[in-house]
Amino acid sequence: MRFNDKVVIVTGAGSGIGRATARLFAEEGARVVAADLSEAVHDTVAGLGGALALEVDAGDEGDVERLVATACDRFGGLDVFFANAGISGGASGIFDSTVELWTEVLRVNLIGPALAIKHAGPKIVERAKVTGGGAILCTASVAGLRSGAGGPAYSASKAGVINLVHTAAQQLATSNVRVNAICPGLIETGMTARAFEYAREVGKEDKLGRLNPLRRAGVPEEIARVALFLASDAASYVNGQAWVVDGGLSSSHPVTRQEFGKPAF
């Protein structure tokens, strides 16, 4: 029960990594506030006993303020915020991506975590004065490390998350609140569901994740376990880092050949 009596917020908790992490936090004793734009978030907390589900837009400042305030009012403070919510933005290339697409992807994927840090950070700092520490986690991606793992808007947003974590860790210096990012590789989630479904339909499921040394895709629980470690006291000296969880994909540069004028993905 590593998180007994700890208060934890998880965004993007309606499915995939967020759902798996929220449930695992609850199993470890945390009082969980699961948030998602989808009403499916209520299914996430079903049977968790005391967990709270809220429908919020993680990229809207008013919603993030309300989320943090609700968690603090209900449970008396906040120890961990996992800014996990994100969108893919599709596979458009740089030359056919609209300003509207870029704006929305950056709003959710980058401004969302920035808002989480802005509004949750002071509350976690306040609580850390009593408990001795707290943590903020953000979901980035291997797409934020280099090209070849996502569309340009998505990749740029995740690169921004990695730098945001570096910056936030510095600005929270001496507070005993740590800030880290997780960079998943190919994981079966709501965001990637169409790709997995198509691969199964055409009998090519074995091709998923074939570029990493483990030769397979990951599952949400494998990311959730890393999230819990980074949020726990066991990671008390891990701060300002981007942890890659991708089966070894980023140990090399296995990307598809790209040519100007042709789709990248």
Positions marked active-site? 154
Contacts for 163 with CB less than 8 Å, ≥ 6 apart = none
Kindly report the three-state secondary structure assignment for every residue of 149-203: CCCHHHHHHHHHHHHHHHHHHHHCCCCCEEEEEEEECCECCCCCHHHHHHHHHCC
- The Cα 248–Cα 245 span in angstroms is 8
What is the number of helices (H) and of strands (E) in the chain?
8, 7
Burial class from Cβ neighbours inside 10 Å (0-12, 13-18, 19+) for residue 99 reads: exposed
Helix axes 99-106, 152-171, angle to 10 degrees: 30
